[in-house]
Amino acid sequence: MTYTNPVLDADWSDPDVVRVGDDFYLTASSFGRVPGLPLLHSRDLVNWTLVGHALQRLEPAAEFRTPRHDCGVWAPSIRHHEDRFWIYWGDPDQGIFQVNAPEIRGPWTRPHLVKAGKGLIDPCPLWDEESGEAYLVHAWAKSRSGVKNRLTGHRMHPDGTELLDEGKVIVDGDRIPGWFTLEGPKLYRHDGWFWILAPAGGVETGWQGALRSRGFFGPYEERIVLEQKDTDVNGPHQGAWVRTPSGEDWFLHFQHKGPYGRVVHLQPMRWGADGWPVIGDDGAPVAEHEKPGLPAQPPAAPATDDDFPGGRFGRQWSWTVNPRAGWATQHSGDGLRLTCVRSADAHDLRRIPNVLTQRLPGTPSAVEVDLTLHSEEPGARAGLAVLGDAFGWIGLQRGSDGTVQLVHRFAEPVAERERDAAHPLPAPEGRVRLRIEIGAGARCRFSYDLGDGPRSSGPVFAATPWRWVGALLGLFALAPTGTGHAGAATFTHFRITSL
C-alpha cells in the first residue's frame, strides 16, 4: 500500500509531531486565529483527524480584539514528558509561551510566558534523559528584533516553566556558506549527539538542514538533508522527525503553496552509515511512497462539512480574533445563526473581527452553503468569502428600501474598501445558495442559486494569501454602525466537494 503527498492538503503551517504509544499527534501554527494550536491525531502518519485545540484565547486579550492575521502563534513544538503533553510557541511580539496538559484533549493550562522579548520565535524544548538536563532552542524574527539566521540555546528548568540563563548563540547561520534565514529548529537527542533539524533559505525557496554536536551549546556541524532537486516540491522544510513503535523513522514537513498555505508532506527517513539522516529519496521529496509499517487505518482527513447542529460549529472553524459573546447563538434547530455585528469597517472584511473561517482546500473544490438573511436593518449583509491580502465575497444585503439583494464584491490588496464585482440582483425571498468553485492556482469562480437555477457571478477572482497565512474561507454577518439590535443571518448545509 502506498500514500501520496501531501498527506494534509491545506494550510497546517509549520507542523510538529510527537508519538505517544501507538498514537501520533500534530500541532501547527494558528497565527491570529482562535481557537489556536490545532491538535491532530493519527495512527498511521497518513490519515489525520482534528481532535481539538490547546489554546482557547490569545493573550493579552486586548491585543487580539481586532484581526492580526500574521501575528499570534508561530511555529509550535509539541513534546511528551513526565506523562504530560507540552507545547511551546513563539509570539513574535511578546515572547515564548508554553501550555501543558495530562491528555491531548486537555485540560490545557493557561499560556505561561517562559521568556519575554521581541522577535523570539520557533522554540523547541528538550528533556535530556541521559543527563537529566533540560534545554530550549529558538530562532529570531528580524522584523521584530533586527536579528535573524541565528539559533539561541538556553538551559531550562526541568519543570519547563523558566530558562536558567541569558542564552547563547549556538548556531550562527551567517558563518555557514550559502545559508540564510535559518529558523524553525527542532531539538532531539540521538546516538550520543544533540541534533537540530532546522530549515534555511526561505519559506518558498529553501531546504531542510540537520546540525549535530556532542554538546548542546556546540560547536555544530551541518548538512542539507532535504531539498527540491528536480521535483515540484519547492522549499521542502520545517517539520518533525518521528519514530514508529517498530523503529521506522519518518519526517513530516511543509511545502509553501501560495494561497493554499503550507501543506504537509510525509517523507521516509533513515540514518546513513555516516550517522547523518537521509530524508526522502536520497534527499529529494517523494510524491508517492510505501506507507509506514503501521496497522492499516481507514481514510481520514480533518472535517470540512458542517450542518451546524443546534447552532454549534465544528472544530475546523476559527474566528479571526478572540470571540465575543453573542456573535453566534445556539438554538433548537440546525444552522449557524450569526448576529449582524455592527462595524464601522463593514466595507473591508480584512478588518472585521467576527468572521468565522476555515482553511482553503488545497485541491480543486466547490464550496457551497445556504444563506438566509433575517435582519431588517438597512445595510445588513451576510455572505461567503475568500479572505487573504485580497478578498472576494458573495451574499445578501438589505437595501435602504427594505428589499434584499444578492451582492458580489471584492477588494484588491491595495484597496481600502470593497467594490462590486457584479451588478446587484433582487433576492425577494431573502434566501440563496452560494457557491465558490476553487480551481487550479486558487482561482475562484462565484455563483448563486436564488431558486431558479445556478448562475455565475462576476469575473474569476484569484485568491491571495496573507503574508504568512494561506487564504481562508469565511462566513460573516455585518451591519453598519448604529444603535439597537441589527438582527441575524443563518447559514446551513456547508459543504466542500472535490472537483
Q: Is 331 left (phi over 0), alpha (psi -120 to 50) or beta?
A: beta
pLDDT mean over 207-218: 98
pLDDT score at 321: 96
Q: Which candidate, 87, 81, 79, places its Cα nearest to that of 30?
A: 87
Per-residue exposure over 51-76, b if at least 16 CB sit within 10 Å of its own CB, e if not:
ebbbbeebbeeebbeebbbebbbbbb
Q: Which of 183, 227, 306, 389 is catalytic?
A: 183
Q: By three-state DSSP, how is residue 350 classified?
A: helix
Does residue 183 have an active-site annotation?
yes
Peptide bond into 60 cis (omega under 30): yes
> Which value, in Å, is the radius of gyration of the alpha carbons in the chain?
23
Q: Is pLDDT above 80 for 119?
A: yes
DSSP letters along 346-413, please?
TT-GGG-S-EEEEEPPSSSEEEEEEEEE---STT-EEEEEEESSSEEEEEEEE-TTS-EEEEEEEE-T
Percent of the chain whose predicted confidence (pLDDT) is above 90: 95
| Region 318-498: CATH code | 2.60.120.200
Q: Which of 14, 222, 306, 377 is catalytic?
A: 14
Q: Is pLDDT above 90 for 158?
A: yes
Distance of alpha carbon 468 from alpha carbon 70, whole angstroms: 6
Q: Is pLDDT above 80 for 484?
A: no
Give Cα separations from 5 to 255, 280, 476 (angstroms).
Answer: 10, 12, 33
Spell out the domain ranges in the chain. Answer: 2-290, 318-498
- DSSP letter at 309 equals B
The string of pLDDT tens digits covering residues 403-421 is 999 999 999 999 999 999 9
pLDDT confidence bin for 359, thresholds 50/70/90: very high
Across-strand partners of 221?
Answer: 212
pLDDT score at 333: 86
Q: Is pLDDT above 80 for 483?
A: no
| Structural class in CATH, domain 2-290 | mainly beta
Residues in the chain: 499
Does residue 165 have an active-site annotation?
no
The string of pLDDT tens digits covering residues 312-349 is 999 999 999 999 999 999 998 889 999 999 999 999 99
What are the residues whose beta carbons fall under 8 Å from the beta carbon of 166, sequence distance 6 or more? none
Place of cell 469565511: 474
Terminal alpha carbon distance of the chain: 25
Does 318-498 match 2-290 at the fold level? no
Q: Which candidate, 92, 109, 216, places its Cα nearest to that of 161?
A: 109
pTM listed for this prediction = 0.97
